[in-house]
Amino acid sequence: MIGNDIIDLALAKKESNWKRSGYLDKVFTFREQILIQNAQNPDEMVWNLWSRKEAAYKIYNRQTGIRSYIPLQLECIYENRNFGKVICKGNTYYTKTAIVGEKIHTIAVVEKLLFNQIKYLNSIVKLNKINGIPFFYDSNTDTIKPVSISHHGRYKVIIGL
Ligand X SMILES: CC(C)(COP(=O)(O)OP(=O)(O)OC[C@H]1O[C@@H](n2cnc3c(N)ncnc32)[C@H](O)[C@@H]1OP(=O)(O)O)[C@@H](O)C(=O)NCCC(=O)NCCS
Q: Which of 134, 145, 155, 161 binds ligand X (CB under 6 A)?
A: 134
Cα–Cα distance, 78 to 126 (Å, whole number):
35
Sheet containing strand 74-78, edge to edge, reads 2-8, 103-109, 91-100, 83-88, 74-78
Site string for ligand X, 77-116 (x = CB under 6 A): ----------------------------------------
- Answer yes or no: are the C-beta atoms of 68 and 75 closer than 8 Å: no
Q: Which of 47, 57, 78, 93 binds ligand X (CB under 6 A)?
A: 57
Count other Cβ atoms within 10 Å, centred on residue 102: 17
Q: Which of 69, 80, 116, 120 binds ligand X (CB under 6 A)?
A: 69
Question: Near ligand X by CB under 6 A, which window of 32-40, 67-75, 84-92, 111-119?
Answer: 67-75
Choice between 53 and 96, CB closer to ligand X: 53
Q: Which residues bind ligand X (CB under 6 A)?
A: 3, 5, 27, 50, 53-54, 57-58, 61-62, 69-71, 132-134, 148-152
